[in-house]
Amino acid sequence: MADNSTDIKFNENSFKKIEKHNVDEQEKISAPSLTFFQDAVRRLKKNKAAVISFWLLALIVVFSIISIWWTPSDPNAQHVAYANLPPKIANGQIPGFTGKANVGGRIVDKYAQAKVPSGTYYVLGTDYLGRDLFSRLMKGIALSLLIGFLATLFDLVIGVPYGVVSGWKGGRVDTLMQRFIEIISSIPNLVIVILMLLLFTPGLGSIVVAMGITGWITMARLVRAETLTLKTQEYVLAARTLGESPFKIAIKHLVPNLSSTIIIQTMFSIPTAIFFEAFLSFIGIGIPAPNASLGTLLSDGQKTFRFLPYQMWYPAAAISIIMIAFNLLADGLRDAFDPKTQE
């Protein structure tokens, strides 16, 4: 700790007193202003898996939107003559998309066998009724995303307000609302859908109603727990002392601070809903024939899996990718929004 007065150079002004201090200068914030979301996006960008998932999902969404107006061919049109054709692209040069299949040890050009005119081909092949599987997959994915969208809708429209009200009111109201949640969440989803079959024909309607009854419960619980902490935060108290109405407090203070919880939970509930629909369709009480959904595609493909594996591979891959992408993105978002959980 001795002096280190080695190469210090003084000049005549060195010991002149500085009269004016620019304290304001010090108080200036030089760093660019990052909003909370910009900061979260910055962290999210560091997570490669989440970024890849995001772009993958974006691509899938674009494809699904396109499928509303356009598919390579009519997904429900049957060409029995063209049944069970393997995948083929263009002239069949690409391995795996050659349009040939192994029948009893011999490679057979199925397209030639079925007398498909040259120039007509099915990218992912056809099913046992000769329907274009690529078009059906597009429709199926679109339906899955629709289900995901509806799940989000229920989360936001029922789950969030329910949780906010329950947490904010507290006391007896909270107890009642929580008991109600416990009661409906104690009934398995499957039971509700089966009961629905008594009222409706199987289809999108009953799936949506079942989700409407139970799908938002996790969201409501999370939001309530978060609201219970937020409402004791001093900025919420400050808003109350200023005379802000509870509704405005919810909009201005609670929801913005709940947004990370809400976004993350939504990202987790979408794949759950997608899987729920696929599962119902797979066991036959979901989307009815002839409509395509990932569940019905899997169900159909599964029957001929040993001979025509492509009929199951592609829908299975699609649902896996969608589920994994949503989960990875949700994980990434959680880390991005809540840096504390990272370490």
Partner 1 sequence: MANDSQATPKKLIEVKHLKQYFNAGRPNEVKAIDDISFDIYEGETFGLVGESGSGKSTTGRSIIRLYNPTSGEIKFYGEDISKIKHKDMLKFRREMQMIFQDPYASLNPRMKVKDIIAEGLDIHHLVKNDEERDARVNELLDLVGLSRDHATRYPHEFSGGQRQRIGIARALAVEPKFIIADEPISALDVSIQAQVVNLLRDIQKEQNLTYLFIAHDLSMVKYISDRIAVMHNGRLMELSTASEVYDHPLHPYTKSLLSAVPLPDPMYERNRHRKPYDDSIEHDGKERSLKEIVPGHFVLATDEEVSLYQASAEEYNEK
Partner 2 sequence: MEKILDVKDLQINFDTFAGQVKAIRNVSFHLNKGETLAIVGESGSGKSVTVRSIMGLLANNAHVDNGSIDFKGKDLLKATPRELESIRGNDISMIFQDPMTSLDPTMPIGKQVAEPLLIHGSMSKKKAMARAEEVLELVGITNAKNRMKDYPHQFSGGQRQRIVIAISIVNYPEVLIADEPTTALDVTIQAQIIDLMKELQNKIETSIIFITHDLGVVAGIADRVAVMYAGKIIEYGSVDEIFYNPQHPYTWGLLNSMPTLDTSSDRLYAIPGTPPNLLNPPAGDAFAPRNPYAMQIDYEQMPPFYKVTDTHYAATWLLDPQAPKVEPPAAIKKRQEEYHQLVAEGKIQSSVKGGAKDGE
Please identify, using beta-carbon distances, which residue of 10 and 69 lies nearer to partner 2: 10
From 17, 115, 179, 340, residue interacting with partner 2 (rule: CB under 8 A) = 17
3-state secondary structure of 54: helix
String of contacts with partner 2 for each residue 35-54, x by CB under 8 A: -------x------------
What's the burial of 318, exposed, middle or buried (CB within 10 Å: 0-12/13-18/19+)?
Answer: buried
Q: Which does 285 bind (CB under 5 to 8 A by kind): partner 1, partner 2, none?
A: none
Orientation of helix 310-337 relative to helix 255-282, angle to 10°:
170
Instruction: Classify burial at 223, counting beta carbons within 10 Å of its beta carbon; exposed 0-12, middle 13-18, buried 19 or more.
Output: buried
Do 44 and 51 meet the contact criterion of CB atoms below 8 Å apart? Answer: yes
In the list partner 1, partner 2, none, the entry touching 183 (Cβ below 5 to 8 angstroms by class) is none
234 binds partner 2 (CB under 8 A): no
Answer with the entry of partner 1, partner 2, none that 14 interacts with (C-beta below 5 to 8 A by kind).
partner 2
State the number of CA atoms in the 13 A half-sphere of 97 facing the CB: 13
CB of residue 264 vs partner 1: minimum separation in angstroms? Answer: 16
Sequence-separated contacts (24+) of 276-285 with Cβ below 8 Å: 276/147, 276/189, 276/207, 276/211, 277/143, 277/144, 277/147, 277/207, 278/144, 278/319, 280/193, 280/207, 284/202, 285/193, 285/194, 285/197, 285/202, 285/206
Nearer to partner 1, 175 or 233 (CB): 233
Q: Which residues bind partner 1 (CB under 8 A)?
A: 24, 27-29, 31, 33-36, 233-235, 237-244, 248, 252-253, 256-257, 259
- Window contacting partner 2 (CB under 8 A); options: 12-20, 109-117, 254-262, 274-282: 12-20
For CA atoms 17, 23, 24, 30, give the dihedral sign: positive
Place of tokens 């008991």: 179
We find the least distance from the C-beta atom of residue 29 to partner 2, in angstroms, to be 9
Give the nearest distance from C-beta 173 to partner 1 in angstroms. 16
**Closer by beta carbon to partner 1, 48 or else 248:** 248
State the nearest-atom distance from the C-beta of 336 to partner 2, in Å. 12
Looking at beta carbons only, is 246 or 288 nearer to partner 1? 246
Min dist. Cβ of residue 342 to partner 2 (A): 10
Q: Which one of 18-26, 147-155, 193-201, 237-245 is the stretch in contact with partner 2 (CB under 8 A)?
A: 18-26
Contacted entry of partner 1, partner 2, none for residue 239, CB cut-off 5 to 8 Å set by kind: partner 1
CB of 52 to partner 2, least distance (A): 22
Which listed option, partner 2, partner 1, none, makes contact with residue 26 (CB within 5 to 8 Å by class)?
A: partner 2
Rounded to the nearest 5°, which phi and psi values hold at 109? -80, 100
Residues 176, 181, 183, 184: what is their CA dihedral angle, to the nearest 10 degrees? 140
Write the CB contacts of 221 (distance below 8 Å, at least 6 apart in sequence).
163, 181
Q: Which stretch binds partner 2 (CB under 8 A): 22-30, 193-201, 202-210, 271-279?
A: 22-30
Q: Which residues bind partner 2 (CB under 8 A)?
A: 1-5, 8, 10, 13-18, 21-23, 25-27, 31, 42, 343
